[in-house]
Structure 1
Amino acid sequence: MLTVAYGEATLEQSNVYRWYEMFSEGREDVNDEERAGRPSTSTTDENIDKVKKIVLTNLRITVREVAEDLNISIGPCHSILTNDLGMSRVAAKFVPKLLNFDQKRHRINIAQEMLESVRDDPNVLQRVITGDGSWVYGHDMETKAQSSQWKLPHEPRPKKARQVRSNVKALLTVFFDCRCMVHHEFLPQVSTVNKKYYLQAMRNLRGAIRQKRPDLWKNKHWLLHHDNGPAYTSLLVREYLAKNNTVMVPQSPYSPDMAPCDFLLFPKLKRPMKGRRYATIEEIKTASKRRS
């Protein structure tokens, strides 16, 4: 079947076995080792320019297709792409949402405002208290890196069954600053995440700041940064924050890389818990507190 598809370009069976053995032993480079003799005549400035034009026209084209278009071997074509052009083939990265122009502009404006605030006051970030909520599961799947393991050349690759998150879970709401945790709480079992719940969380946060950050509380120097979900931005919560003269740090929508809880705290908290099993809500809470 391979011969029908690739004709003379098909590897002989012995070469297939040889490459399979090398890949099993950890080799990643698909190019042949350098050998003495005449250099390849395919790597010319003309071919490099042609390869670049072809690839930029169709970024999903394969090395084999480029080589066939230029009537050159796959090895030199791959070398042109990686060595001469410095290109690499990567998969698309998943993001929460593809932002439109206005959302991107809003994101830039917020980032510029934050930079200007730091220029005006280099210590401003020490006054920011940031927070968000996230589900913590009784069982969450291991990451690919966590499940990786060493093996000998003759051993088969380890396997694992597809798993799903457990239904046992608890919502953790947490607030922290540059020093440490300021306040955290778990959503009561009979409650839902709504404006009334978050309003009470704001009251609890203010009490924690008064107790744990008296310097910020006394001078009203603390700044609040949180997500812009419906409960967080409800009129009830906004009126409460305005009544207490709470200064807000804006958060760009769909930008987890600008939210410390998303890119720092929650991944660091959940990573050691992945692959473990917690039978009850109380066990989840205990494990979360231990790693907070």
Structure 2
Amino acid sequence: MVEVYAEKCPNYSTVTHWVRKFKSGFLSVMDEPREGRPTSVVTEKNVSTVEGLVKQDRRITVKQLKSETRISVGSVEKILHDHLNLNKVSARWVPRLLTADQKKERDDCCKHLLRLEANDDLFFQKIVTMDETWIYQFDPEPKNASMQWKRPSSPPPKKAKVTQSSGKVMLSCFWDWSEGEGPLMLAPYCRP
């Protein structure tokens, strides 16, 4: 056997083991089913199970997936990253989520201002702008609690500030066109 198979030849103890099995009447050379963990848990069934759980809840954690599927953390991560091409990202804070009508109204206002500026070169130098906002005291959701699974081609998730408490402060800011001088007035107004 060594002359025929060279390095691929099984060692002596393996050959004697198989000779004993064949002498006792065992003639199959295939592996028999046996108890215990399969060599690889990354199967099509497990991949589809993990994908279904992630589609139900984009915020599900690897530990929750592990307990629901009874697959190790490493195998769950391998399924998520290598087979489903998913990454977990945090939602981006935005002041509020605008409707399509609100976005169109803002677009129309900006176009109107650009038309006014085209007729008057000093138009933007005549504007003093002001903004005011209520600053609410609230407990934001932790960043890791808002993380979701997403594919590289899908847009990142967004979340708006929704929980507010009774304590708040009104903040008003005014700016003019001149550079480097900062706001004209910063006037916080506190209301209990």
User: Shared topology, TM-score over 0.5?
Assistant: no
TM-score with structure 1 length normalisation? Answer: 0.27
TM-score with structure 2 length normalisation? Answer: 0.37
More strand by percentage: 2
More helix by percentage: 1
